[in-house]
Structure 1
Amino acid sequence: MMLRPLLCCFALCAVVPNVVAGEISIGNESGTQVFTLRQGTTVVKFAPGAGANAYSIRVDDVEYLRQPDSLDKLPGVGFGNPILYPTPNRVKNAAFEFDGQAVRFQPNAGGNFIHGLVNRHAWQFVRSRSDSKHAAITCVADFRDGTALHSRFPFPHELYLTVTVSDGAVRWTYEVDNTAGTAAVPFGFALHPYFVYQGRRADTYLKIPATHWMESEKQLPSGKLVAKDQLGFPLGEFMSLKGTTFDDVFWGMKPDQPTVIEYRDVNRMITIAASEAFTHLVVWTPDRPYFGVESQTCSTDAHNLHAAGKTSEAHLQICQPGQTLSGWVEYQFKKVSDTFLAE
């Protein structure tokens, strides 16, 4: 893909604040450039320069994500919906080996590395578009030779991300472009939403449509899969988040079986659908006013599990030279009746 003409076009319009093109506006908050995408009653705020974080999702004037006090706190993790790439969640000992090449990260979680490289990266704008049903923006993180990202993850490629807003839904589509590469790119892609409780935690229910829980120690999966009938909680059925302390990886997600969050006391729900690449889900329910339901294309520590021969359990994505790989996650928001939630 040729970026130069698109970036030049953007540079011309970016000097004018609050440019409106259909349902997309550009502004500035606390020194951070923000795109506001609107369709119907759905409004999304997106900051490419702060890790490509779609940090605010409002539907019917209800905010679903944890907000920072100021956008200078947005880069990294902690607010909105950060992108985790190329290593979702933890990498044991902050290192892995792939095809004989050793990669070492700077530890940032004890002796481990966590949450990937792009959630603090200033992504480049590529294009925006809107029509009567959608508003979308595309940006890119460049891992090609000579870039800062390549120096930390030495597999040349480009990662494109498109955020598409429709009325009542938001979709993230990634594309790993290795068409100009000469070596395979081993990666995982994930979202790390900070969903806020809309009502009481006891009345917030989650359905995880996985087939297995992954055994782990200190949030690092061993690769052992435990079937849902051997667990002490109802995997695959709705369960209240009251009293839960999940920080766990689940395996066996299918495209035709979405994850569902129900806020039963306020009659709202979120359905999380994903393409077939997203076989794993991380659920995190700390004792805080927010929680995480993280769609992942691979397991936590996937690179090391793959190297240990646990390829199915890891589901590490490998983009071969001359190839592109893509996938998507979509959040669908609904206001529902008491009768619907009781069924």
Structure 2
Amino acid sequence: MPAAIRRQRLPNTVENLNPEVVILSDGFGGEAVIWPALGFNCIGWTCDWQGRQLNLVHQDPALFTHPSPTRSGNPVLFPFPNRIRHGKYDWAGHTYSLPINHGDTSIHGFACRAPWRVVSEGVAEGEAWLTGEYHGFVDNPSTSEQWPADHILRLTCRLKRGRLGFEAEILNPDPITLPWGLGYHPYFRSNWHADFANSPLEIRVQATSSWELENCLPTGKVRPVDKSKDLSQWHSLTDLNLDDVLTGLANQPDNDGMLVECGALRYPGGPTLRVLADPVFRHVVVFTPADRASVCIEPYTCVTDAINLEACGKCEMPSGLIESPPGGHFRAEMAWEIS
């Protein structure tokens, strides 16, 4: 069966949200489902592993009736991942205010909450891809008062056998410097297949350091990973409660030597899912939602609240905040791989 692309309308979706999803097929039984109207969110990925159809991506039960942009699939976090303290920051002599949407913070940027445009798609032998675009001040005009410079994010989802890649391009169309960070918030299911329902899912994140947090916000201090949360070796998720920002990754390369491992999940003796990314993704949030239906391994180019940490000079290591000059063009890739 050749690789293919098809479209489908979701049932029972809310008004004012385009219900069309795009389904990529790799020709080997694997599929990825992308919802352009919900922040170009990849809300599903299935793939074949030794004759079993693995269902890897979690969907919130209310996804199709009361969809939250950050509770299912793979939310794209841009131009900042995670929280900004009190929804305020200073940049180039100006104070900016953001919508408060999580406690007393602003969280996860703008791109995950806006419809995207599909700008390209295609198939080749054994692969299918879809490219979406989010143009900040055009697609979300209110953000022109909330961020220092306009920004464009193009994201290509590329499906191959046992692999789903996310190839990002960040462009600065403004005549001033663009500060930004990019993150992904994938929700991986705790149960991939009925054959593994009684097996403990294990996690590995080979990080040496952790950002010290107060109320989920970094103080700027970096500490060795607490022994109770050391994930450098495989560890069952059964007894873990995590919402931590890790760094100092071991940088284990993938088979092509281009991307490095940010974290991995496995069933002992069964399939392994590796989260891979360019080395620019120096920070990883590991989160175990309370319902235990999923686990998140979130690659970030910058730490939580990076724009404020840089301004106050409290970082014990680089925050990862990137500043793109006018006309700047930056590429970064993240991928999931099953073996």
TM interval, short-chain normalised: 0.7 to 0.9
> Residue 297 of structure 1 corresponds to which residue in structure 2?
301
RMSD: 2.1
> Can you give the 5+ residue segments of structure 1 that lack an aligned partner in the other structure?
1-20, 335-343
Q: How many percent of aligned residue pairs carry the same amino acid?
A: 25
> Residue 173 of structure 1 corresponds to which residue in structure 2?
167
Q: 1:173–1:74: structure 2 CA closer, same or farther, 3 Å change rule?
A: farther
Say which of 58, 63, 66 aligns to 1:66: 58
Give the TM-score, by structure 2 length: 0.86
> Residue 15 of structure 2 corresponds to which residue in structure 1?
none
Alpha-carbon displacement from aligned partner over 1:37-72 (angstroms, at most 9, x marks no partner): 010221000011111100000112221111244534
Amino acid at match of 2:331: S
Q: Do the aligned residues in 2 keep the contact of 1:51 with 1:75 (CA within 8 Å)? A: no
Look up the SS of the partner of 2:42 in the other structure: strand
> Residue 120 of structure 1 corresponds to which residue in structure 2?
113
Amino acid at match of 1:83: V
Q: Do the aligned residues in 1 keep the contact of 2:91 with 2:148 (CA within 8 Å)? A: no
Q: Do the aligned residues in 1 keep the contact of 2:24 with 2:33 (CA within 8 Å)? A: yes
Q: Do the aligned residues in 2 keep the contact of 1:201 with 1:241 (CA within 8 Å)? A: no
> Residue 277 of structure 2 corresponds to which residue in structure 1?
274
Alpha-carbon displacement from aligned partner over 1:109-140 (angstroms, at most 9, x marks no partner): 12111121121200111110110032111111
> Residue 319 of structure 1 corresponds to which residue in structure 2?
324
Greater shift, 193-202 or 240-249, is seen at 193-202
Give the Cα separation in 1 of the matches to 2:316 and 2:129: 34
Give, in angstroms, the shift of residue 281 of structure 1.
Answer: 0.2
Q: 1:223–1:327: structure 2 CA closer, same or farther, 3 Å change rule?
A: same
> Residue 17 of structure 1 corresponds to which residue in structure 2?
none
Give the Cα separation in 2 of the matches to 1:93 and 1:48: 30
Amino acid at match of 1:241: L
> Residue 51 of structure 1 corresponds to which residue in structure 2?
39
Give the Cα separation in 1 of the matches to 2:309 and 2:199: 36
Give, in angstroms, the shift of residue 141 of structure 1.
Answer: 0.7
Give the Cα separation in 1 of the matches to 2:138 and 2:23: 32
Give, in angstroms, the shift of residue 147 of structure 1.
Answer: 4.7
> Residue 21 of structure 2 corresponds to which residue in structure 1?
34
Q: Do the aligned residues in 1 keep the contact of 2:3 with 2:127 (CA within 8 Å)? A: no
Amino acid at match of 2:301: T
Q: Do the aligned residues in 1 keep the contact of 2:203 with 2:231 (CA within 8 Å)? A: no
Look up the SS of the partner of 2:37 in the other structure: helix
Alpha-carbon displacement from aligned partner over 1:161-189 (angstroms, at most 9, x marks no partner): 111101101011111111x3211111111
Q: Do the aligned residues in 2 keep the contact of 1:255 with 1:276 (CA within 8 Å)? A: no
Give the Cα separation in 2 of the matches to 1:300 and 1:145: 26
> Can you give the 5+ residue segments of structure 2 that lack an aligned partner in the other structure?
12-17, 254-259
Give the Cα separation in 2 of the matches to 1:274 and 1:22: 24
Amino acid at match of 2:324: C
Say which of 211, 219, 223 aligns to 1:222: 219
> Residue 185 of structure 2 corresponds to which residue in structure 1?
192
Amino acid at match of 1:239: H
Q: Say whether 1:163 aligns with 2:157.
A: yes
Amino acid at match of 1:276: P
Q: 1:147–1:203: structure 2 CA closer, same or farther, 3 Å change rule?
A: closer
Look up the SS of the partner of 1:73 in the other structure: coil
Say which of 205, 208, 232 aligns to 2:205: 208
Q: 1:201–1:153: structure 2 CA closer, same or farther, 3 Å change rule?
A: farther
> Residue 257 of structure 2 corresponds to which residue in structure 1?
none
